[in-house]
């Protein structure tokens, strides 16, 4: 039987039995949904197997030796430890700038600014 039946939404002519079979009905949708579900489950199983292999590989590898701890950079002003001397209370020091120890930061904060900075520069920010 020649293709004599045109269905809206289909891009081609169909034979009457094909058009009446309606491959886009609910049964076909359930079959496609079941196939998609199986594909998702297989993909999830593959991912879990890959993760298990990766975990096993990481469990067998020895931990790398941690190198020596990096030394703290000294204060630019006094060459002391940037974290401050033991027993120093950091609560009373200005915020850390990564360059000076707490006592030098306190000293720098208490100094008067140079004339150029006082006239043209920004004022120091307060917390």
Do residue 42 and residue 78 come from a single domain?
no
Q: How many domains does the chain have?
A: 2
pLDDT at 52 over 80: yes
Average confidence (pLDDT) over 13-25: 75
Share of the chain above pLDDT 90, in %: 18
- Structural domain of 82: 73-122
Which pLDDT score, from 0 to 100, does residue 108 have?
Answer: 82
The closest alpha carbon to 96, from 120, 71, 123, 73, belongs to 73
Q: How far, in whole angstroms, is CA 119 from its chain's centroid?
A: 45
Residue 34 resides in a domain: yes
Cα(73)–Cα(83) distance, rounded to whole angstroms?
9
In terms of DSSP H, where are the helices of the chain?
16-21, 26-60, 102-110, 115-120
Strand, helix or coil at 45?
helix
Do residue 41 and residue 80 come from a single domain?
no
Residue 37 resides in a domain: yes
pLDDT at 118 over 60: yes
């Amino acid at each position: 039987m020649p293709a004599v039946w045109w269905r809206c939404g289909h891009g081609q002519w169909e034979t009457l039995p094909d058009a009446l079979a309606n491959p886009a009905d609910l049964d076909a949708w359930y079959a496609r949904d079941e196939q998609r579900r199986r594909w998702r489950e297989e993909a999830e199983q593959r991912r879990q197997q890959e993760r298990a292999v990766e975990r096993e590989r990481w469990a067998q590898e020895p931990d790398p030796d941690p190198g020596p701890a990096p030394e703290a950079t000294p204060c630019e002003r006094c060459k002391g430890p940037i974290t401050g001397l033991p027993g120093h209370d950091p609560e009373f020091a200005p915020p850390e700038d990564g360059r000076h120890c707490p006592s030098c930061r306190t000293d720098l904060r208490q100094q008067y600014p140079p004339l150029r900075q006082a006239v043209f520069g920004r004022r120091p920010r307060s917390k």
